[in-house]
Amino acid sequence: MSIVNRMGRMTAAKGFPSTLSDGTVITGAVVDRLGYQSALVTFSYEASTGTPTTATASLIIEDGDNSGLSDNATFATFATVKDIKTAGIAQYYVDLSKAKRYVRIVEDTTYTDGTTPKNQLCSSIILFDKDVDADTTTVYGR
C-alpha cells in the first residue's frame, strides 16, 4: 500500500499567541500567504473576568504588499459584535484569492462596565489551497 503526500498544500501560522486582553488592540504577526488562496481563522477565548456588562470582540484581517504591513488595509472583518463574556471558539473560512501577499489578524475587545475586565485570547491562521503542486512523493507503508 502507498500513501501520496498531500500536506504541501496546507500550513498553519499563529495569528497572535495566547494574550491577556484588557481592551487594548492586539496586532498579530504578519503572515506571508504567497500562493495560498484560502484560510481558516480560529479565535478562542476564555470567559471574561471582572464581570463586565458586555464584552465584545472585533476580529479583522489586514493585508498589504509590504512584509512589514506598513501599507496595511482592512481585507475582512469578522465578529464585530462577538460576545466573549463566556468561553468559546469561533472559526471563519476566508477566501484570500483577492488578498495581497501579506496578512495579519487584528483583534479589538470592547468592555462595558466591570472591574478591570480581561479575557485570555488566541488566534491562528491555517492556510490552504496552495496554487502550486504539492509534494507528491509516495510514502510506503509496511
What would the pLDDT profile of 64-98 be if each residue is shown by its tens digit?
A: 999 999 999 999 998 666 788 899 999 999 999 99
**Could you tell me the three cell numbers for 36?**
495560498
Q: Answer with the residue of higher pLDDT: 65 or 2.
A: 65
pLDDT at position 2 over 60: no
Q: Residue 125's pLDDT band (boundaries 50, 70, 90)?
A: very high
Mean of pLDDT over the chain:
84
Written as one string, the DSSP assignment of 40-81 is EEEEEEPPPBS--SEEEEEEEEEEESSTT-TT-EEEEEEEEE
Q: From CA 114, how far away is CA 101, in angstroms rounded?
A: 40
Q: Which CATH architecture has domain 12-131?
A: Sandwich (2.60)
Q: Is 3 helix (H, G, I), strand (E, B) or coil?
A: strand
Under a CB-based contact definition with an 8 Å cutoff, are residues 123 and 59 in contact? yes
pLDDT of res. 89: 92
What's the Cα-to-Cα distance from 74 to each of 39, 50, 56, 82, rounded to whole Å?
16, 31, 19, 18
pLDDT of res. 17: 84
Domain ranges of the chain: 12-131
What would the pLDDT profile of 51-70 be if each residue is shown by its tens digit?
A: 999 999 999 999 999 999 99
